[in-house]
């Protein structure tokens, strides 16, 4: 499920899958398990892949008219055939911008199937709407395209099996906690030997098709594009999700594609600027702006002498000016399979105004703060420990433990932690503070400006 609607807390998209086409695909919803009513919510039903033994249909329905931060019960299925009807689940809608209470969320990227992610998966299955408001997955979802790297799977076609297996394992979480995703490189296409030998398979699984079919993010509400770029709000935070895979100069989506077959979704940069401009003008109501993008702009391994190189440099050229111009507070990334936290950074330089000497407190940061959390666990394992690279803006790092990040937030505080997946030991933590913002007014020190 995922947040939906123009106004936070007023809608929710429910998603499910069936192995056959369903007549009368529908949603029932109510305030208790025993008081579910059939809605007239329009439901989409699509299938992107089929072969001689397998077809799957993906259903999405955005239920509207809901009340912020309210618990609802629901089931999904066919209103004409009870065989295709789910159990009853529940969810809690997003908090309104006027909600001043503190909430918790979980953040990570690079979460695959396999032994490396078993501890992360076990912890996620313990979560409930009472403990966590939402999960934000910063790209690389399931690693279906790496299925051929697993033992005994080199020569077979396992893309759909691995994707289904990962989503089934996460179903207890994703059926009760809003699960917001953004696009990573492992969502691009199937590039296994089996797909390379089958133009038909490759054509069905190219250009982020599986990813855009299985999930439904709230892009239409904000004039975004599919699940490639979109934004949403939860309480005091505006989240902008963008694509580091497509639609900017130097984008890498055709790294394995010859001739090119991926990308070309639209003018992403124009949309990002319009979205951030609108969010910045609304800081009096929604004071924090967080950007999520899969590949990092600033990470130690990608920045010799602290300066972005290669793909990092392309990302910097495309996005950094906008992040600074619209005073983005935090940039969340993954891609590298470890954890790093940076100081506030502007144009390759640490901006230490308001940063404590132990780097544990950032008070009214004067540039975007970059957090890389890509250590959930994948068949590829953790990445090698990078050379320090004279990255003077690197405040903390962990290259040896599988883990994930958490955020405790309200209108004036973002409290971040990086936890060990196996025992939830706190491996890093810091707090960001913000004075109460007033949109368009930077004349006094009580207003957040840079």
Given a cut of 90, is residue 157 above it in pLDDT?
Answer: yes
pLDDT in tens, 326-350: 999 999 999 999 999 999 999 999 9
- pLDDT of res. 84: 86
Does the structure show a pLDDT above 70 at 241?
A: yes
What is residue 92's predicted lDDT score, i.e. its pLDDT? 99
| 74 neighbors 89 (Cβ within 8 angstroms) | yes
pLDDT bin (cut points 50, 70, 90) of residue 152 is confident
Q: Is the pLDDT of residue 447 over 50?
A: no
What does the pLDDT read at residue 437? 54
The pLDDT score that the predictor gives to residue 83 is: 83
Q: For the chain, what percent of residues have pLDDT higher than 90?
A: 92
Structure tokens at 390: 């004279």
Given this model, what pLDDT does residue 446 score?
A: 38
Domain 96-433, CATH number (from 3.60.21.10, 3.30.2000.10, 1.10.10.10, 2.40.30.170): 3.60.21.10
Confidence class for position 445, pLDDT limits 50, 70, 90: very low
Provide the b/e sequence for 44-69 (b: ≥16 CB within 10 Å): eeeebbeeeeeebbbbbbbbeebebb
SS (H, E, C) the chain: CEEECCCCCCEEEEEEEECCCCCCEEEEEECCCCCCEECCCCEEEECCCECCCCECEEEEEEEECCCCCCEEEEEEEECCCHHHECCCEEEECCCCCCCCCCEEEEEECCEECCHHHHHHHHHHCCCCCCCCCEEEECCCEECHHHHHHCCCCCCCCCHHHHHHHHHHHHHHHHCCCCEEECCCHHHCCCCCHHHHCCHHHHHHHCCCHHHHHHCCCCCHHHCCECCCEEEEEECCEEEEECCCCCCCCCCCCCCCCCCCCCCCCCCHHHHHHHHHHHHHHCCCCCCEEEEECCCCCCCHHHCHHHCCCHHHHHHHHHHHHHHHHCCCCEEEECCCCCEEEEEEEECCEECCCCECCCCCEEECCCCCEEEEECCCECCCCCCCCCCCCCCCCEEEEECCCCEEEEEEECCCEEEEEEEECCCCCEEEEEEEECCCCCCCCCCCCCCCCC
The 10s digit of each residue's pLDDT in 162-182 is 999 999 999 999 999 999 999
CA distance 400 to 284: 41
Query: Confidence class of residue 448 from pLDDT cuts 50, 70 and 90?
Result: very low
What integer pLDDT is reported at residue 86 of this predicted model?
A: 97
What confidence score (pLDDT) does residue 190 get?
A: 95
Q: Of 93-97, 117-121, 278-282, 438-442, which gets the smallest average pLDDT?
A: 438-442
Tokens of 248: 């900017």
Low-confidence winner among 200-209, 346-355, 438-447 (lowest mean pLDDT): 438-447
* Domain 1-94, CATH number (from 2.70.98.70, 3.30.70.920, 3.90.79.10, 2.60.40.380): 2.60.40.380
The model scores a pTM over 0.85:
yes
Mean pLDDT of 181-197: 95
Mean pLDDT confidence for 227-256: 98
CATH 2.60.40.380 residue spans of the chain: 1-94
Every domain range in the chain assigned CATH 3.60.21.10: 96-433
Question: What's residue 150's pLDDT?
Answer: 85
Under a CB-based contact definition with an 8 Å cutoff, are residues 211 and 141 in contact? yes
Q: What is the mean pLDDT of residues 194-199?
A: 93
Average pLDDT rounded to a whole number, residues 4-32 = 97
Query: Average pLDDT over the chain, rounded to whole?
Result: 95
**Is the alpha carbon torsion for 243, 244, 248, 254 positive or negative?**
negative
pLDDT of residue 441: 41
Cα–Cα distance measured from residue 207 to residue 330, given in angstroms and rounded to the nearest whole number: 29
Q: What is the pLDDT of residues 55-80, one digit of tens each?
A: 999 999 999 999 999 999 999 999 99
């Amino acid at each position: 499920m995922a947040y939906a609607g123009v106004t936070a807390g007023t809608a929710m998209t429910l998603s499910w899958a069936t192995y056959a086409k369903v007549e009368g695909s529908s949603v029932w919803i109510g305030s208790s398990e025993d008081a579910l009513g059939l809605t007239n919510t329009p439901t989409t039903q699509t299938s992107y892949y089929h072969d001689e033994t397998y077809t799957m249909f993906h259903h999405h329905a955005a239920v509207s008219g809901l009340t912020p931060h309210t618990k609802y019960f629901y089931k999904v299925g066919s209103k004409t055939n009870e065989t295709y009807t789910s159990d009853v689940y529940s969810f809690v809608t997003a908090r309104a911008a006027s909600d001043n209470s503190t909430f918790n969320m979980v953040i990570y990227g690079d979460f695959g199937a396999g032994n490396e992610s078993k501890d992360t998966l076990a912890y996620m299955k313990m979560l409930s709407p009472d403990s966590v408001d939402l999960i934000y997955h910063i790209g690389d979802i399931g690693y279906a395209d790496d299925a051929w790297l697993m033992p005994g799977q080199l020569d077979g076609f396992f893309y759909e099996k691995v994707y289904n297996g990962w989503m089934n394992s996460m179903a207890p979480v994703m059926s009760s906690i809003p699960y917001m995703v953004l696009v990573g490189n492992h969502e691009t296409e199937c590039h296994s030997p089996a797909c390379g030998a089958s133009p038909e398979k490759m054509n069905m699984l190219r250009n982020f098709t599986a990813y855009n079919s299985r999930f439904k993010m709230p892009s239409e509400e904000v004039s975004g594009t599919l699940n490639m770029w979109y934004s949403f709000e939860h309480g005091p935070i505006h989240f902008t999700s963008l694509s580091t895979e497509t639609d900017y100069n130097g984008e890498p989506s055709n790294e394995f594609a010859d001739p090119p077959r991926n990308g070309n979704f639209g003018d992403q940069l124009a949309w990002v600027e319009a979205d951030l401009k609108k969010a910045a003008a609304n800081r009096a109501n929604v004071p924090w702006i967080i950007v999520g993008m899969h590949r990092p702009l600033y990470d130690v391994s990608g920045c010799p002498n602290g300066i972005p190189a290669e793909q990092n440099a392309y990302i910097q050229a495309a996005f950094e000016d906008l992040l600074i111009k619209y005073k983005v507070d935090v940039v969340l990334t993954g891609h590298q399979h470890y954890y790093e936290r940076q100081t506030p950074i502007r144009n390759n330089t640490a901006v230490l105004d308001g940063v404590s000497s132990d780097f544990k407190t950032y008070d009214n940061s004067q540039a975007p703060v970059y957090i890389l959390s890509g250590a959930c666990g994948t068949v590829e394992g953790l990445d090698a420990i990078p050379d320090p690279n004279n990255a003077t803006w690197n405040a903390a790092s962990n290259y040896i433990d599988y883990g994930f990040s958490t955020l405790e937030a309200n209108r004036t505080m973002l409290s971040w932690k990086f936890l060990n997946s196996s025992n939830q030991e706190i491996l890093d933590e810091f707090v960001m503070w913000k004075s109460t913002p007033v949109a368009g007014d930077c004349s006094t020190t009580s207003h957040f400006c840079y």
